[in-house]
Amino acid sequence: MADIKIKFADKPSNSLQAGDLIFYTPTTPDGNHTDSSGGIVKLGILKSITIVEGEYVLLIDAFSYAVEPTTSDYFFFVKNNNVNKSGLKGYYSEVKLKNDSVSKAELFSVGSEISESSK
């Protein structure tokens, strides 16, 4: 794998972090993406984000088969699901439900999504 540096004038998403998988797709002259000119390309894994002379520089560990993108391509990313799992984690949780209305209310259902964090 070879490193590729991609520069952006605008700040990328706050949720973008090292380890995320970077993709791109070619765009048409009006800025819309198109699958007819090459489709979606899996570029590589983000190594770091730095600011150099006012530009945001993404250092990407590119896959060997990836074609280097152009300046007009549309970039997007997918979070690393080995690290960024959804749901609460832990052994203990406490919930307090309170009815602030003056009339009687009935609670129909309560649900949660919890995973043990130390397995």
**In the chain, what are the domain boundaries?**
2-78
What gap in Å lies between CA 83 and CA 115, rounded to an integer? Answer: 14
Query: Would you state the pLDDT for residue 22?
Result: 93
φ and ψ at residue 24, rounded to 5 degrees: -150, 160
Q: The tokens of 98 are what?
A: 């309170």
CA-angle at 52, arms to 8 and 7, nearest 5°: 20
Q: How many helices (H) and strands (E) does the chain have?
A: 0, 7
User: In angstroms, rounded to a whole number, what is the distance separating the alpha carbons of residues 92 and 95?
Assistant: 10
Report pLDDT for 80.
76
Give the chain's residues under pLDDT 50: 37
The pLDDT, as a whole number, for residue 116 is 62
To the question of pTM greater than 0.75 for the whole model, the response is no
